[in-house]
Every structure is written in C-alpha cells, then in structure tokens.
C-alpha cells in the first residue's frame, strides 16, 4: 500500500480510497494489482509479466502502451548513483511513466501545476501512472532496491526533460514507511 504525504499541508494519507481519489485529482492513476498466480519476486521477467498479463493488457489497450518490461535495480547495480541523479531533479517526459512495483520501494514527488507537491511512496503491489508532461522527480528509499514492470508507448519519449526549477531541493527525499534495511532504520536516501 502506498503512502501519500502532502508535505506543505503536513498531511499524510494511508487509506486506499483516499489515496486513489487524491492522486486522481492530481491526474495520477493509482491501483493495487494482485498476480493471477503466485510468483516469486525474483522470478524471471517473463514469469512476472505472465502473472500480471491481464492487468498489463488492460493498461495497454487503455493507454496505448506497446511494450512492457521488468527493470531490476539493486544497491550493487553498476552506475546506480549516476542513474538516480538523472531522475532526482524535477523533470517531465513526453511519455507516460507507468510503474508496477514488484519489490523494493520508490518515492515519487509530483508537482501539480495548480496544487501542492505530493510525495508518493510506492512498494510491492502498487501501480502508478504519471501522465506525460507531469512535473515530478524520483528517489529510491533506504533499501536502494526496486523491481518494477514498466510500460511504454514509445521508449524514445522516456527521456527526462528538466524544469530547472530547483523546487526538488526544497523537499527531502524521505521515505516514511518501514523498509527492511538493517543498517538504516529510518528510510532515507
């Protein structure tokens, strides 16, 4: 279950219906998916995609997505810090950012054009769709781990275009939920 924090209002949402409704008001789709059959979080990508085939096909037909893959990021992933540096500054894409989390955690900050910045901590079972053009940035949590299904309309569109607003610097990349990181009890990137 995601956790949603509206930082400037010091307000946290934990109820699924409240989260879905609030994010919808910001243009963000949020869903919970359950697999059609049991599948290990470290199963091969094909098995993961097969377990969620129904949901993936539904999204493809609604959103015009043509491909789905599985991204696997671990603390030991080569070049991880360089990769993260690209996405921790406020940016947008000419492509929807669609992620279904299999393992690990991530922290999206969404900056609606007419509303306060909202932080969304996603974990296993969470689907988030950030429409093209939405200002946002992304951090990992303390576990520095995320395995996720991604859907694409056109992979070429998924390049970060920076706002250079500096707004991201005003918000700490703090995850609020429990994270299984023995050496860092409070989730922090």
**Contacting residues toward Fe ion, per CB under 5 A:** 97
Measured from the CB atom, the residue of 51 and 120 that comes closer to Fe ion is: 120
* Smallest distance, Fe ion to C-beta of residue 127, A: 16
| CA distances in angstroms from 58 to 8, 33, 103, listed in the order given | 35, 12, 22
Measured from the CB atom, the residue of 97 and 168 that comes closer to Fe ion is: 97
Question: How far, in Å, CA of 171 to CA of 137, rounded?
Answer: 11
* Smallest distance, Fe ion to C-beta of residue 18, A: 25
C-alpha closest to that of 157 among 66, 70, 53? 66
* Smallest distance, Fe ion to C-beta of residue 21, A: 23
DSSP state of 174: B
Measured from the CB atom, the residue of 22 and 92 that comes closer to Fe ion is: 92
* Smallest distance, Fe ion to C-beta of residue 97, A: 5
Q: CA triplet 80, 86, 89: central angle to 5 degrees?
A: 130
* Smallest distance, Fe ion to C-beta of residue 6, A: 20
Residue number of the CB closest to Fe ion reads 97
Q: Bridge-partner residues for 147, per DSSP?
A: 72, 103
Question: How far, in Å, CA of 108 to CA of 98, rounded?
Answer: 12
Measured from the CB atom, the residue of 97 and 126 that comes closer to Fe ion is: 97
Measured from the CB atom, the residue of 35 and 157 that comes closer to Fe ion is: 157
What is the distance of C-alpha 150 from the center of its chain?
A: 10
Pairing type for strands 67-73 and 136-140 reads: unpaired
């Amino acid at each position: 279950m995601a956790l949603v924090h509206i930082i400037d209002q010091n307000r946290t949402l934990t109820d699924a219906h409240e989260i879905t409704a609030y994010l919808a008001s910001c243009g963000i789709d949020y869903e919970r998916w359950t697999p059609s059959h049991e599948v290990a979080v470290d199963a091969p990508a094909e098995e993961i995609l097969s377990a969620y085939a129904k949901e993936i096909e539904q999204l493809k037909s609604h959103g015009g997505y043509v491909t789905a893959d599985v991204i696997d990021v671990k603390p030991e992933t080569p070049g991880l810090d360089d990769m993260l540096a690209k996405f921790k500054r406020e940016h947008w894409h000419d492509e929807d950012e669609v992620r279904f989390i299999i393992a690990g955690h991530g922290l999206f900050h969404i900056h609606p054009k007419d509303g306060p910045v909202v932080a969304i901590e996603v974990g296993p079972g969470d689907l988030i769709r950030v429409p093209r053009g939405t200002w946002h940035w992304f951090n990992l949590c303390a576990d520095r781990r995320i395995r996720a299904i991604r859907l694409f309309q056109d992979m070429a569109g998924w390049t970060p275009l920076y706002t250079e607003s500096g707004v991201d610097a005003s918000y700490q990349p703090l995850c609020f939920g429990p994270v299984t990181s023995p050496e860092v009890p409070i989730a922090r990137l």
